[in-house]
Structures are given as C-alpha cells and as structure tokens.
Amino acid sequence: MAYGSDRFGSYGSAGKIHAERIEKITGIKTYYGFASQQEPRWEDTMKQMIQDGVDTVYAIPFFISADRYASTFVARFLGFDKEQRKGICSKWGNVNIIETGGFTDHPGMDKVMTEIAEHYKAVPGKTGIVLISHGARDCAGTPLAESAADYLRKRGFMVICGYNEHQHPDDIESVEQATGTEGIENILVIPFFVSPSSHTCEDIVETLKLDSDRKRMYPFNGKMYPLTYTYEVGMSPSVAEILAERVIEAKGH
C-alpha cells in the first residue's frame, strides 16, 4: 500500500517493483495499489483481490513513517479502528486482513543503508553523508532518519540528517555542515524517501543545483567538493527483503 508518486513514469513505480520482488521471495501472489496519483488505487486492488478469491490479505504499508500512517488513513481505508491491525472487516466481506509492519524501523535497514554507501563508493572519514528526509512540523520522522543514519555512523561515517521542509538543518544547511567537517573530501546526499517524487526529483535537485547526472562540484570555504545524489532509500532491492520478511512473520502468526 503505497501513496503514489508523480514521478513514477521516469523511474518506475516503487510499489510495483517491490510487489514483484516480494512475490518472488515469498511465493505469495502480491498485489499493489496507491492512495493517489497512480493506478491502481487501493480500492481497485482490494476489489481485484476479492474477485480473485483471496481470503487473507497481508496489507503492507509502504511509507517512511509506516506506523504513523497505518494508524490513520490506512486504518480508515481498511475499516480498522485506530489501534487495530488485523481482523475481518465488514467493509470487505469475509476477507481476513492482517496489516504488517513497514521497513524503516526494521533491523534490515542496516543492510539497506550500507549497500547504498557501498554502491556509491563512500569512504568512512572522507565521505560526508547527508540524509535528507521530508521533514514535518511535529518532527515525527526524525527518530527514523536518525536511526537510519546511525547504521552508517557505526561504520565510521559522518552523517548529517537534513530536511526538505519544515525542519532544520535544511538541504543547504545540512550539506554545508558536512562539507565543513574536518577530513571530509566529498559528499553523498541520500534522499530518505520511498520513491522518486517532486521532492526528490525537483525540490532537492534544484536547491542543490545538481547536474542531469545528479552530481556537481559544491563550493564551500574556498574548496570544491564532489557531491553525488543517490537513488531514494525506498528503491533499494533490500527493502523488498524486509517487506517480504514482514509478510512471512505475519503469516506465521
């Protein structure tokens, strides 16, 4: 269950891609749907599952702050009370619905973050990492971003958590904190988002003045720092492994 992205056409739908990966890992028929901007919508997907004779649905909330959304509009859509995570809801007939956990609070994020750093050849002590998330007025996503950053910090990386909106440090402030750190020679900016969107493909790209290949030389205090902008965290193949594990756990219970 993904929100939907207005940039899926250029990069591929994260929801669709992960559904295929999860099905391959678990052997369980996996459907996908979106709340907005993409098709099929959640309701269409549920109707298709019922039509296909599915009697148990494992609903995977594909969000950075999965618990937050699971207790609000995901729960309302499924027909659950705010704290309910499983049961037979009259809204969908006799289908048993079990909501799984998300991915950002799972220990498997260690592998996700490490693989991104390795893919872009980041070097502890020399590469400053900036993890940019959406940001919120209530700072709700900060613990998840800091937890993801900690997986890299324990490997010796200097990591700054920045925010695209509402919080500080913002995009520029976080990059300049990283470039201003002693020993840092290059910068790796990681968007802590589930998929390509206007935030990751326009806002951050324009603010950091990135080239078409998502790179630039960043000037700071008379020096030039090579800066590379990675793919979105939620696009990592290892995220599908976490979500598949969530389904297997739910199925076992």
- Give 146's contacts (C-beta < 8 A, 6+ positions apart): 161
Instruction: Examine the domain organization and report whether 56 and 166 are in the same domain.
Output: no
Write out pLDDT tens, residues 23-32.
999 999 999 9
Backbone angles phi, psi at 242, to 5 degrees: -65, -45
Instruction: Examine the domain organization and report whether 54 and 126 are in the same domain.
Output: no
The answer to whether the beta carbons of residues 148 and 115 sit under 8 Å apart is: no
CA-based nearest residue to 8, from 238, 235, 240, 236 = 235
Residue 12 has pLDDT above 80, yes or no: no
SS3 of 62, please? strand
Give the pLDDT score at 206.
97
Residue 208 has pLDDT above 90, yes or no: yes
Lookup result for tokens 């756990």: 249
d(CA 28, CA 57): 11
Here the CATH number for the domain that contains residue 90 is 3.40.50.1400
Residue 81 has pLDDT above 90, yes or no: no
Average pLDDT in the chain = 93
Percent of the chain with pLDDT over 90: 79
Residue 75 belongs to a domain: yes
Question: Half-sphere exposure of 144 toward its Cβ, with a 13 Å CA cutoff?
Answer: 25
Instruction: Examine the domain organization and report whether 124 and 88 are in the same domain.
Output: no
Residue 2 belongs to a domain: no
Residue 62 belongs to a domain: yes
Instruction: Examine the domain organization and report whether 62 and 122 are in the same domain.
Output: no
d(CA 100, CA 8): 24
Number of domains in the chain: 2
